[in-house]
């Protein structure tokens, strides 16, 4: 059988593809547990960060002991300093793709407890900065105005006034900021409704 015969080409291509794909499948299988664990850990960390519980020890255990079982809307409830806090994992449309994260609210005080971002596909360095602490910390303790929170151009840096219903958007990323405004406000409605049902 010569190297350029039809049969050799077909058999060779098939074998090469089979061997390499088989090796990939092996590695994937060997690491799948770790990958799953990493994802669970990231989600647990996001919930704890949003509510403001310091991360220590096994974050998945901490998550289980801090939050009860999620209800049918996926909302979990916990108590922080005697106040009831509700939180939920959300997914919304950013500028380039899905933004997913966790928002935590205090429904009685009508106040955001915290926000954390799990994943996004915004431009690194521009819209991608929504995952930076200065952006997320602005939401902590922010009172929710009746017509919704606004993410807008501010003084620059951070907006630490918790009563004005505004947080600073990301410079150079107006569309991502606008998307975050919609996502957060939709999520506030969702959580408020869910909290009332209980």
Partner 1 sequence: MSDVSPRTVLWKNLWTDNPIFVQILGICSTLAVTNNLANTLIMTVAVIFVTGLTNVTVSVMKSLIPRKVRMIVQTLIIAFYVILVDIVLRAYLPEISKALGPYVGLIITNCIIMGRAEAFAQANPPAIALWDGLTSGAGYMGVLVIVAVIRELLGSGSLLGFRIFGQNFIPWTIMVMPPSAFFLLGGLIWVAKTIMLRKEAE
Residues that bind partner 1 (CB under 8 A): 3-4, 8-9, 12-13, 16-17, 20, 23-24, 27-28, 31, 34-35, 38, 42, 119, 121, 123-126, 171-172
What angle, 0 to 180 degrees and rounded to 10, lies between the N-to-C axes of helices 6-51 and 59-66?
50
**Main-chain dihedrals φ then ψ at residue 180, nearest 5 degrees:** -65, -40
Q: Nearer Cβ to partner 1, position 8 or 79?
A: 8
Please, what is the minimum distance in Å from the beta carbon of residue 118 to partner 1?
Answer: 9
Please, what is the minimum distance in Å from the beta carbon of residue 40 to partner 1?
Answer: 11
Residue 4: count other Cβ atoms within 10 Å of its Cβ: 7
Q: Nearer Cβ to partner 1, position 24 or 160?
A: 24
Please, what is the minimum distance in Å from the beta carbon of residue 42 to partner 1?
Answer: 7
Beta-carbon contacts of 179 under 8 Å, excluding residues fewer than 6 positions away, are 92, 93, 94, 95, 99
Q: Nearer Cβ to partner 1, position 9 or 55?
A: 9
| Three-point CA angle 55, 59, 61, nearest 5° | 130
Please, what is the minimum distance in Å from the beta carbon of residue 65 to partner 1?
Answer: 23
- Do 69 and 154 form a contact (C-beta atoms < 8 A)? no
Sign of CA dihedral 74, 45, 186, 107: positive
End-to-end CA distance of the chain: 75
Q: Nearer Cβ to partner 1, position 35 or 160?
A: 35
DSSP label at residue 127 = G
Please, what is the minimum distance in Å from the beta carbon of residue 144 to partner 1?
Answer: 30
Of 184, 196, 194, nearest in space to 72 by CA: 194
Q: Nearer Cβ to partner 1, position 77 or 174?
A: 174
Please, what is the minimum distance in Å from the beta carbon of residue 79 to partner 1?
Answer: 30
Q: Nearer Cβ to partner 1, position 35 or 93?
A: 35
């Amino acid at each position: 059988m010569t190297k350029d015969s039809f049969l050799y080409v077909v058999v060779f291509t098939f074998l090469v593809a089979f061997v390499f794909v088989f090796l990939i499948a092996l590695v994937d299988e060997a690491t799948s547990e770790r990958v799953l664990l990493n994802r669970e850990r990231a989600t647990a960390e996001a919930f704890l960060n949003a509510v403001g519980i310091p991360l220590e020890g096994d974050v998945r255990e901490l998550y289980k002991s801090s939050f009860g079982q999620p209800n049918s809307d996926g909302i979990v409830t916990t108590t922080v300093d005697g106040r009831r806090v509700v939180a939920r994992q959300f997914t919304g449309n950013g500028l380039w793709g899905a933004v997913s994260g966790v928002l935590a609210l205090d429904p009685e005080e009508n106040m955001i407890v915290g926000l954390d971002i799990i994943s996004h596909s915004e431009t690194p360095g521009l819209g991608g900065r929504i995952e930076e602490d200065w952006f997320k910390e602005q939401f902590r303790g922010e009172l929710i105005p009746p017509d919704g929170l606004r993410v807008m151009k501010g003084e620059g840096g951070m907006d630490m006034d918790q009563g004005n219903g505004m947080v600073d958007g990301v410079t150079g990323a107006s569309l991502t900021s606008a998307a975050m405004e919609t996502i957060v406000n939709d999520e506030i409605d969702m959580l408020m409704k869910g909290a009332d049902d209980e």
